[in-house]
Structure 1
Amino acid sequence: METDQPPHPAQAQVPDFDRWACNTTEVMEIGLVSPSQDDPYNVDTEYFQPEFTYPIFGMHETAFGYKDLKIKILLTSGSLRTYVSITNSGHYQPSSSSTSDNNVAIDDVPGMLKKYLSPDTTTNYDTFFSMVKEEDTSFSPIGQLVHSYSIENDEGTQEQYQIFKSSFKDPGFREYHRRMQFLVLLFIEGSSYIEDDDEKWEIYTVYKANKRSAAETQYQFVGYSTFLILPPFQGMSHGRILYQFLYEQFAKRKDVGEITVEDPNDGFCDLRDRNDYRFLEEHDAFRDLTVPVPQAQIDHIQQKFKLTNRQAQTCIELHLLSKLDKKNSQDYKAYRLQVKQRLYKFNYDALQDMDPAELKEKLNNTYIGVEDDYYRILEKV
């Protein structure tokens, strides 16, 4: 975590705390494991580290009481059956001469992990190795295949990917989801577990489909509709493709009136802004649009494309800025005024009590930040 966080509770009590403490994000290693195609007695593992571990170990991301702590979490590449190994070279013991640390207990790292891992997690590597070998081509994704696409890899070969739609009504999916959502805690900022007793949830999962033969396919988990994409598959456009597919699916459904996102993080907001802007541009939503844009046109775009009012205005403002000649002072002033009016309405409760001079300064500073952010987004569209 980048912000300052309260220290581990034991830090104030143990004189040599640093000797027995470690950053849990740094000592955790995750591996996606597949059977080796070259050696039937071996496996291929793609290792990566979590982005953070505070949902499990606390905001300080510290484990106390171990020397050389290592946490290894391995997952079978398709079914995500999980193996955990926790090793260390020594445990903390209070010094006989000190009374301040006699009541300090070491962290229960296995217990902390157990709260979040699937109940079928194993600590027996032989058992896990057997799972890997058995599921090579026997694992099939749960649910309905709804989309297929290909991406060219670095060697110029087309790799095949598939998206499956599932719900908790599907036999076995609740157990599968419990393994899958553990990863969300380690990669999606501010995430939490969803209630898996609600059968209305629709979950879309992305897999790499490796064709072994005409009749056999080996599947590798890539990510799913929380917009978790595992590190080995990041930077390959999977997030963009998944978002575009989901948007188009929900936009044409009669039972969907508006597509909203609950508490999106910054990374997802960027993904959504770029994709929505690109989609609207491709569908001539911005034709003949000039500043100031009448509210009726904003409402039309919002309703036609089932966006929130704020998201529709964001896309319109991105488009207008991309076409704006800032040397034309009249047009630039009109654009700034439109954006500031939107900012004022959206932040009315926080701004209403400011005096005119303070309000003007606040809106101007906020506008500058918005414009800079829009240029950053437009650079990658």
Structure 2
Amino acid sequence: MQQCTEMAGMNPMEKKLAEYKCDTNEAISLKLVRFADDLEDESTTFHPEYSHQLYGDDEVAFGYKGLQIQLYYSAGNLSTLFKVKYSARVTEKFDCVEPDDVEGKIREIIPAGFSCNTDDFTSLLEKETNFKPFGTLLHTYNVHNVEEGEDFTYQIHKVDLSCPGFREYHKRLQTFLMWFIETASFIDVDDDRWDFFLVFEKYNKDGETLFATVGYMTVYNYYVYPDKTRPRVSQMLILPPFQGEGHGAQLLEAVHMFYCNLHKVQDITAEDPSENYVKLRDYVLVKLCQTLPSFSTDKLPLGFSDDMATEAREKFKINKKHARRVYEILRLRVTDMSDETKARDYRLEVKKRLFAPTKKNQREMTKMMKCLRPEELASHISQMDTALQQEELEKSYQELLAEYRRVIERLAQA
């Protein structure tokens, strides 16, 4: 309806030109190809969530009708097929109107060595039997596929940049970030403080064992005075065909267990974590900490303790802030919220933590008021409106409860 309204206000030439606009998220088709038949199988195609980093905030390409941007990868080594198709181009109909350089934008992010025709790409599929996962095997696990009625095997590997062939592979792998992480950027792989963790699926093809890329995580090791490091998760992506199967939780838990064995590691953090990552981290950290003595059912009602913070850090490299969140989730799980007294005790403790930053700001503001002019004082007083604060605090608390309950439900399902 909106498009029809916009078209109604255009002159004939503008209407003609509007026909040459394409949604780049729909135009770009991605595939992870295992078999030659996958090339023509629409069920194996997926599309970007984002394309604004290449095609602008409106995620629109101008100059083409029926635009198709095919970006296909072999499932394991990620050998790449790149093709651009369209039914009509604006310069064929109108003089002095230039189409967007859609092909050039893609070439800016995909490394050299890609195929431009299907036959060359198909020949590369035959070499997938030579592809083996990079690095050191950390963890193997199985996932039961209900539709297929069988278990599939997956491996998580820790990789160093010195691993032969990995740099070239990583250049191809990181191109997926542009399509599925809103503020993605490529990292400087020449910095040896990066750690890489990859997930692969084992599968059979004509009686041979092959490996498909499932996802990965990059972690940067920051220095902590005097002799520690703080690994910070930078990027994490499970490729769309594998999402919703629990691979993210397996990967994050494997990464925590890897760093747990390193004495030099202080704790593990994340760089600008997304909402989905926070949900995943909540689940994994609660799953780990529920086994610790300090988080036992009889100790949870007594409140968050130094023992909890210490044990979470020493056993699983979890910092105090995250340990406190784990405690609140586990305490909610053992609290009978239909009991008014227990529910009130829980609510007050969580709200006290939520309100702490506001209370600190109020103290600082009170000190500042002595130096303010009358109009400035009135402005600051309005910001301290108690009723509004209580309303916002209650809203934050209810949102937090909903998040915590989702984690508890997932734990129950697991």
> Which TM class, normalised by the smaller chain length?
0.7 to 0.9
8 Å contact from structure 1 (residues 33, 44) kept in 2: no
8 Å contact from structure 2 (residues 309, 319) kept in 1: no
Cα deviation, residue 70, structure 1: 0.7
Cα deviation, residue 126, structure 1: 2.0
**CA–CA distance in structure 2, aligned partners of residues 103 and 264 of structure 1:** 46
Match of residue 300, structure 1, among 300, 306, 310 = 310
**CA–CA distance in structure 1, aligned partners of residues 64 and 266 of structure 2:** 53
Cα deviation, residue 349, structure 1: 6.9
Aligned pairs for 1:175-324 (under 5 A) are 175-211=168-204, 216-225=208-217, 226-287=235-296, 288-291=298-301, 293-304=303-314, 305-324=316-335
2:270 partner SS: coil
With over 3 angstroms needed to count, the CA separation of the structure-2 counterparts of 1:371 and 1:313, relative to structure 1, is same
Aligned pairs for 1:340-351 (under 5 A) are 340-346=351-357
**CA–CA distance in structure 1, aligned partners of residues 308 and 85 of structure 2:** 58
Match of residue 339, structure 2, among 318, 328, 348 = 328
Q: Which TM-score applies when normalising by structure 2?
A: 0.79
Percent identical across equivalent pairs?
31
**CA–CA distance in structure 2, aligned partners of residues 302 and 375 of structure 1:** 21
Gaps of 5+ in 1: 1-6, 97-101
Relative contact order, CA 8 A, sep 6+: which one is greater?
Answer: 1
Q: Which residue of 1 aligns with 2:73?
A: 75
Instruction: Render the CA deviation track for 1:124-169: whole Å, top value 9, x for unaligned.
Output: 322211111122x111222222222222333333322222221222
1:243 partner SS: helix
1:338 partner SS: helix
**CA–CA distance in structure 1, aligned partners of residues 362 and 348 of structure 2:** 16
8 Å contact from structure 1 (residues 67, 89) kept in 2: yes
Q: Which residue of 2 aligns with 1:164?
A: 157
Q: Which amino acid aligns with 1:234?
A: Q
Match of residue 143, structure 1, among 120, 135, 140 = 135
Q: Which amino acid aligns with 1:132?
A: L
Cα deviation, residue 238, structure 1: 1.5
2:397 partner SS: helix
Cα deviation, residue 342, structure 1: 1.7
8 Å contact from structure 2 (residues 138, 254) kept in 1: no
**CA–CA distance in structure 2, aligned partners of residues 107 and 358 of structure 1:** 49
Cα deviation, residue 94, structure 1: 10
With over 3 angstroms needed to count, the CA separation of the structure-2 counterparts of 1:44 and 1:171, relative to structure 1, is farther
With over 3 angstroms needed to count, the CA separation of the structure-2 counterparts of 1:350 and 1:162, relative to structure 1, is same
Aligned pairs for 1:5-154 (under 5 A) are 15-16=14-15, 17-35=17-35, 46-93=44-91, 105-135=98-128, 137-154=129-146
Of residues 202-211 and 66-75 in structure 1, the stretch that sits farther from structure 2 once superposed is 202-211
The number of residues matched between the two structures is 361
Give the aligned CA root-mean-square deviation in angstroms. 2.9
Instruction: Render the CA deviation track for 1:31-81: whole Å, top value 9, x for unaligned.
Output: 111235xx9xx9988322222222222221111111110111110111101
1:171 partner SS: coil
1:205 partner SS: strand
Matched, 1:370 2:400: yes
Q: Which amino acid aligns with 1:300?
A: T
Gaps of 5+ in 2: 1-5, 218-234, 366-382
**CA–CA distance in structure 1, aligned partners of residues 195 and 182 of structure 2:** 21
Cα deviation, residue 241, structure 1: 1.4
With over 3 angstroms needed to count, the CA separation of the structure-2 counterparts of 1:350 and 1:62, relative to structure 1, is farther
With over 3 angstroms needed to count, the CA separation of the structure-2 counterparts of 1:149 and 1:363, relative to structure 1, is same
8 Å contact from structure 2 (residues 91, 98) kept in 1: no
1:131 partner SS: helix
Of residues 294-303 and 139-148 in structure 1, the stretch that sits farther from structure 2 once superposed is 294-303
8 Å contact from structure 1 (residues 64, 107) kept in 2: yes
Cα deviation, residue 30, structure 1: 0.8
Cα deviation, residue 201, structure 1: 1.4
Q: Which residue of 1 aligns with 2:227?
A: none
**CA–CA distance in structure 1, aligned partners of residues 152 and 308 of structure 2:** 40
**CA–CA distance in structure 2, aligned partners of residues 181 and 261 of structure 1:** 18
8 Å contact from structure 1 (residues 258, 308) kept in 2: yes
1:380 partner SS: helix
Q: Which amino acid aligns with 1:28?
A: I
Cα deviation, residue 186, structure 1: 1.3
8 Å contact from structure 2 (residues 19, 65) kept in 1: yes
